[in-house]
Structure 1
Amino acid sequence: MTSWSDVEQAEPDFAARARRILTAYRHLTLATLRADGSPRISGIEIDITDGELTFGSMPNARKGADLLRDPRFALHSATVDPPGDAPAGWPGEAKIAGLARCTGALEGATEGLAFTADLHEVVLTHLNEAGDRLVIEFWHPGKGLRTVERE
């Protein structure tokens, strides 16, 4: 299993930038797979604590049922537009793909299921300093960090 702390240990600067984007807003988007294999997207809140990326699912929520049946997921940070007068000031987007491992019931006042993420990919997308090229940074366990620029 690859945890958030593995990303932090392998690429501390990259992990810090990804975490900043992932936690800048409360609501993110989670993609799961329905029983028929079609995608489902749902709003989600995450937590990164003690080196683990975690999230929950309310009782009887379809996303929780999806993850119990097929643990594959994709997580996308909140999406914001680049500033019109300074596109390079766009914070970018963070995306994560992996497997969700159910760790039992949520603790505290909220009922539901708790999940911990086994990370297979972390991606940062942003603009270069000039604001004229898209920069995509990919991190995969065992493969390290790779960067691609596109016009």
Structure 2
Amino acid sequence: MTNNWAALTTAEPELAKLVEERFGAYTHHILATLRKDGSPRTTGLEVRFLNGELWLGMMPDSLKALDLRRDPRFALQANPGEGTGMGGGDVRISGRAIEVHDPAQKAGYSEEVEPPEPFHLFRTELTEVTRTYIEDDKYLVVQVWKPGAPVRTLKRT
């Protein structure tokens, strides 16, 4: 089973569209990785949704890139924006980041994004996508998608 971004867009196109729009609203987002000692590290990051993949590009030998090389698990939080309104809700993506070494794949990414050279490029394998939002100023709604399962929706007052 493929757990890339295309898997979500195929299984749950409405959720995928909302998540992409939420990430598209701002340039910088928050990436959580694991340090050598296992403690969390959070850093800013730009992300791209291209060709059915969620891509993470990073400066050479950045601490977040070194973290992901050592332990590929990550969590990605969309920029919440100004204030507390969170238009479109709060979205998070968890998974594994796999470094891309193939020159053709990196060149294809570079054509679209034009990153500063050199750079690390990671494609993602998703383990969970979560959207949290307020409905009717009354309910907290949490949508959770995991590969191979439909979206689970939880609602509480």
Could you tell me the TM-score, scaled by structure 2's length?
0.86
Aligned-pair RMSD on alpha carbons? 1.6
Residue 73 of structure 1: CA displacement?
A: 0.1
Identity of counterpart residues, as a percentage? 37
Counterpart of 2:118 in structure 1 is 111
Counterpart of 1:86 in structure 2 is none
Superposed, which structure 2 residues align to 1:1-151 within 5 Å?
1-80=2-81, 81-83=83-85, 90-104=87-101, 107=107, 108=110, 109-128=116-135, 130-151=136-157
Q: Is the 8 A contact 1:90 1:127 kept in 2?
A: no
Q: Distance in 2 between matches of 1:30 and 1:99?
A: 12
Please list the CA deviations of residues 74-114 of structure 1 after superposition, one character each: whole Å capped at 9, or x if unmatched: 0000113344xxxxx83211100000000027544432210
Q: Is the 8 A contact 2:90 2:131 kept in 1?
A: yes
Count of residues paired in the alignment: 145
Q: Is the 8 A contact 1:77 1:93 kept in 2?
A: yes
Q: What residue identity is the alignment partner of 2:151?
A: L
Residue 150 of structure 1: CA displacement?
A: 2.4
> What are structure 1's unaligned runs of at least 5 residues?
84-88
Higher helix share: 2
Q: What residue identity is the alignment partner of 1:127?
A: I
- 3-state SS of the aligned residue for 2:14? helix
Q: Distance in 2 between matches of 1:2 and 1:51?
A: 10
Please list the CA deviations of residues 45-85 of structure 1 after superposition, one character each: whole Å capped at 9, or x if unmatched: 000000000011111210000000000000000113344xx
List structure 1 segments (4+ residues) > 2 angstroms apart after TM superposition: 80-83, 104-110
Could you tell me the TM-score, scaled by structure 1's length?
0.90
> What are structure 2's unaligned runs of at least 5 residues?
111-115
